[in-house]
Amino acid sequence: NGKIVNNASIYNSDTNTGVVGKVTLEKTNGKLILSIEAADPKMDLNIWLTNTSEVTSKTEYVDFGLLTKNPSIVQYVVDMKGGDISFAEYKHVLIVDAKSDYKVYAKVILK
C-alpha cells in the first residue's frame, strides 16, 4: 500500500572511517533523514551536514545532534523548517567535537 515519493537520496557506502560505517542521506516530506551504520565514537561527537569539508567560521551546517554508539543503523531526523537545502552543496558529513576545538574526527563525502 506504499506510494512512490520523489526522494533525493544520496549515499556513500565506502565510508568506514573507524568512527562511522555506511552513511545514507534522504530528503523526504520536508525532513532530512541521515542513517548511520556501525557508529563507534570514543567521546561525545556531533554529526554535521556541511557545505565544506573543513570547519571554518564560514562553514554552514545542519546539526543532527550527538552520534550514538551502535553497531546497527541509527536514524537522525531534522525537520527542514528553514527551507530546502541543495545536496549538490551540502554533501559533507563531518563528525565533529563541538564542545571544544571543532576538531573533525571523520569526514564523509556523499555521492
- What is the DSSP-derived secondary structure letter of residue 26? E
Please, which residues have CB within 8 angstroms of residue 66's CB and are 6 or more apart in sequence? 44, 45, 46, 47
Q: Let me know if residue 1 belongs to a domain.
A: no
Does residue 93 belong to any structural domain of this protein? yes
In a domain, 32, yes or no: yes
Q: Is 3 within a domain?
A: no
Domain count, the chain: 1
Query: With 60 as the cut, is the pLDDT of residue 96 above it?
Result: yes
pLDDT, tens only, 13-46: 556 678 998 888 888 888 899 999 999 999 999 9
Residue 2 lies in a domain: no
Mind listing the pLDDT tens digit for each residue in 59-77?
899 999 999 999 999 999 9
Q: What's the pLDDT band for 2 if we cut at 50, 70, 90?
A: very low
| pLDDT the model gives residue 97 | 94
The boundaries of the domain holding residue 39 are: 8-109
